[in-house]
Amino acid sequence: MNQASLECRHISLSYGATPVLRDVNLKIEPGEFFALLGPSGSGKSTLLRLIAGFNQHQSGELLIDGQDISGVPPHLRGVGMVFQNYALWPHMTVWDNVAFGLVERRESRDAIRRKVGAALELVGLQDYGQRRPGQLSGGQQQRVALARTVVIEPKLLLLDEPLSNLDKQLRVQMREELKNLQRQLGLTTIFVTHDQEEAMTTADRMAVLNQGVLQQVGTAAGLYDEPHNRFVAGFVGTANLLEGQVSALDGDTLVFDAQGLGRLTLPVPAEPPAPGAATLAFRPHQIRIAAEGEPADADRVWLQGRVEAAEFLGEFARYRVRVGEVALVADQPHYAGGAMFPPGAQVRLGLAPTQLRYLHR
């Protein structure tokens, strides 16, 4: 398989007066498994369809292996796409569905037989060639759609919400199969999803979009641990976000005036934030929740609060704790026999200063 690079340079697209993509700059490396992540209406599917050639940008350049393909029609781009609904021909057998692109290219019968057989074996459906799509499960239909796409040996593989039609257990299984297949082929793959877990467990890197603007690009751990802004912090995983002001930096001490919570005196981080308006971000699992009177870790900053709600989620318990005028979310690992804090309980929340992130707006 080819390993192509893709680059978007200052890509912008509008529908009438409505901007959908705004000055998108993005580079995807050869052989990379890359995710476009964002909420509905963020522009991620529009960007994927633009790469496929179904949409046309008004400004910017779209390059595959350094060549601008902006004016190249879809069937000449060397791009394969798997649609959300798989788009299989219901009246054709699995074999004929997979062979369709090769037949359209007028390849020889021997080449078609060899390539279709290899593609079906690749996705584990070598014994299903004479069945029709309606006789297959959702996961099997998706494999047929993948086989039909990879059989034409595209430079890029595009996946539009590939797992959204499957139940949760099958989604987990199929994302592992997708990842293994991509690694086996070494094929540059771009997939669209709104599911954070799907992107974080599958992609080498991902781009987060919101309202047509590229917010941040990086690995799952990089985006989770070091979000660039408030949107990324709140969208990639769960985060507590405190609005306020960095009002003073004095030696080893930083003062953060949090709206609705009050003044926090914190250690200065390795990269000190500039004074001014900021959002203080931290994850629920990074908070230690303790009962009144329980010994406190000296390396944490402690806040007094009251439990408003408690949820048992299996591997952990999630609490909503009122601290001043602010409700914070805190997670606590669950161990057999451990008691949960009931609503109304007075507790203390311990913040780990090394885990706090200051996001300027």
Residue 344 domain boundaries? 239-359
Q: Please count the structural domains in the chain.
A: 2
Of the chain, the end-to-end C-alpha distance in Å amounts to 44
1 assigned to some structural domain: no
- Give the other-Cβ count within 10 Å of 103's Cβ: 12
Instruction: State yes or no: pLDDT of 361 exceeds 70.
Output: no
352 assigned to some structural domain: yes
DSSP H stretches of helix in 63-108? 94-104
pLDDT digits (tens, 9 = 90+) for 167-183: 777 778 878 888 888 88
Q: Dihedrals φ, ψ of 250, to 5°?
A: -135, 100
The CA angle 145-53-61, to the nearest 5 degrees, is 135
Residue where a domain terminates, one of 195, 215, 232: 232
Instruction: State yes or no: pLDDT of 214 exceeds 90.
Output: yes
Residue where a domain terminates, one of 208, 232, 256: 232
* Same domain for 277 and 228: no
* Same domain for 244 and 224: no
CATH of the domain at 68: 3.40.50.300
Residue where a domain terminates, one of 206, 232, 258: 232
> Distance between CA atoms of 26 and 22, rounded to whole angstroms?
12
Query: Mean pLDDT highest for which of 80-89, 292-301, 311-320?
Result: 311-320
Predicted local confidence at residue 1, as pLDDT: 56
Q: Lowest mean pLDDT: which of 8-17, 30-39, 114-123?
A: 114-123
- Compute the residue count for the chain: 361
Q: Which amino acid is at 46?
A: T
* Same domain for 256 and 210: no
Query: Mean pLDDT highest for which of 73-77, 129-133, 328-332?
Result: 328-332
* Same domain for 93 and 200: yes
> Distance between CA atoms of 158 and 140, rounded to whole angstroms?
18
**Closest to 202 in 3D by CA, of 168, 156, 163:** 163
Q: What is the DSSP string of 326-352?
A: EEEEEEEE--TTPPPPPTT-EEEEEE-
Residue 332 · residue 250 · CB < 8 Å: no
- Region 7-12 average pLDDT: 97
> Distance between CA atoms of 160 and 353, rounded to whole angstroms?
40
- Give the other-Cβ count within 10 Å of 296's Cβ: 13
> Distance between CA atoms of 223 and 236, rounded to whole angstroms?
7
Instruction: State yes or no: pLDDT of 140 exceeds 70.
Output: yes
**Burial category of 340 from C-beta neighbours within 10 Å (exposed 0-12, middle 13-18, buried 19 and up):** middle
Angle between helices 109-122 and 138-150 (to 10 degrees): 140
Predicted local confidence at residue 2, as pLDDT: 65
What is the side-by-side order of every strand in the sheet holding 6-15? 18-28, 6-15, 59-64, 67-68
- Region 249-267 average pLDDT: 90
pLDDT digits (tens, 9 = 90+) for 144-164: 988 998 898 899 999 988 777
